[in-house]
Copies of this chain bind each other. A is one copy, B any other.
Amino acid sequence: MDNFTFYSPTYFIFGKNTEKDTGKYVKRFGGNKVLIHYGGGSVIRSGLLDRIKVSLDEEEIEYIELGGVKPNPRSGLVYEGIDLCKKEKVDFILAVGGGSVIDSAKAIAAGTLYEGDFWDFYEGKPIEKALPVGTVLTIAAAGSEGSPNSVITNENGMYKRGTKAEVLRPVFSILNPVLSQTVPPYQTACGIVDIMAHLLERYFTTTKDVEVTDRLIEGLLLTMIHEAPRVMKDPNNYEARANIMWAGMLAHNNLCGVGRVQDWASHNIEHELSALYDCAHGAGLAVVFPAWMTYNMKHDINRFAQLAVRVWGCQMDFANPENTAREGIEALKRFFKSIGMPSNFKELGAKEEDIPKMAHKACYSGTRNGTIGGFVKLDEKDVINIYRLML
A residues adjacent to B (C-beta < 8 A)? 1-16, 18, 208-212, 215-216, 218-220, 222-223, 226-227, 239-240, 242-243, 246-247, 250, 255, 258-259
**CB nearest neighbor in B for A16:** B3
A223 and B211 in contact, given A3-B18, A14-B4, A255-B255 (Cβ under 8 angstroms):
yes
A209 CB contacts on chain B under 8 angstroms: 239-240, 242-243
Q: Are B11 and A5 in contact (CB under 8 A)?
A: yes
A18 CB contacts on chain B under 8 angstroms: 3
Q: Are A15 and B4 in contact (CB under 8 A)?
A: yes
Cβ-neighbour of A223 out of B4, B215, B247 (below 8 A): B215
- Can you list 12 contacts pairing A with B, beta carbon distance less than 8 Å? A5-B11, A5-B12, A7-B11, A209-B239, A211-B222, A211-B226, A211-B243, A212-B243, A212-B247, A215-B219, A215-B222, A216-B250
Q: Are A220 and B227 in contact (CB under 8 A)?
A: no
- Total identical chains: 2
Cβ-neighbour of A246 out of B16, B208, B227, B259 (below 8 A): B259
Q: Are B220 and A215 in contact (CB under 8 A)?
A: yes
| CA of A77 to CA of B246, assembled, Å | 41
**CB nearest neighbor in B for A255:** B255
**CB nearest neighbor in B for A244:** B212
Q: Are A12 and B6 in contact (CB under 8 A)?
A: yes
Q: Are B13 and A5 in contact (CB under 8 A)?
A: yes
| CA of A87 to CA of B190, assembled, Å | 60
| CA of A352 to CA of B197, assembled, Å | 55
**CB nearest neighbor in B for A6:** B12
| CA of A306 to CA of B218, assembled, Å | 17
Q: Are B3 and A14 in contact (CB under 8 A)?
A: yes
A239 CB contacts on chain B under 8 angstroms: 1, 208-209
Which of A9, A208, A240 has the most CB atoms of chain B within a 10 A radius of its CB? A9
| CA of A5 to CA of B176, assembled, Å | 12
Q: Are A259 and B218 in contact (CB under 8 A)?
A: no
Which of A215, A218, A226, A242 has the most CB atoms of chain B within a 10 A radius of its CB? A215
| CA of A223 to CA of B213, assembled, Å | 9
Q: A5-B11, A212-B220, A212-B243 are in contact. List 14 more A-B contacts (CB 8 A).
A: A1-B15, A1-B243, A2-B15, A3-B15, A6-B12, A7-B11, A7-B12, A14-B258, A14-B259, A15-B259, A209-B239, A209-B240, A211-B227, A216-B220
| CA of A13 to CA of B239, assembled, Å | 35
Which of A243, A250, A255 has the most CB atoms of chain B within a 10 A radius of its CB? A243
Which of A13, A226, A242, A255 has the most CB atoms of chain B within a 10 A radius of its CB? A242
A246 CB contacts on chain B under 8 angstroms: 1, 212, 258-259
| CA of A246 to CA of B211, assembled, Å | 11
A227 CB contacts on chain B under 8 angstroms: 211
**CB nearest neighbor in B for A221:** B215
8 tightest A-B CB contacts, nearest first: A3-B15, A215-B219, A209-B239, A219-B219, A9-B9, A1-B242, A6-B12, A212-B243
| CA of A259 to CA of B219, assembled, Å | 17
Q: Are A242 and B259 in contact (CB under 8 A)?
A: yes
**CB nearest neighbor in B for A176:** B3
Q: Are B1 and A6 in contact (CB under 8 A)?
A: no
| CA of A40 to CA of B83, assembled, Å | 59
| CA of A211 to CA of B230, assembled, Å | 12
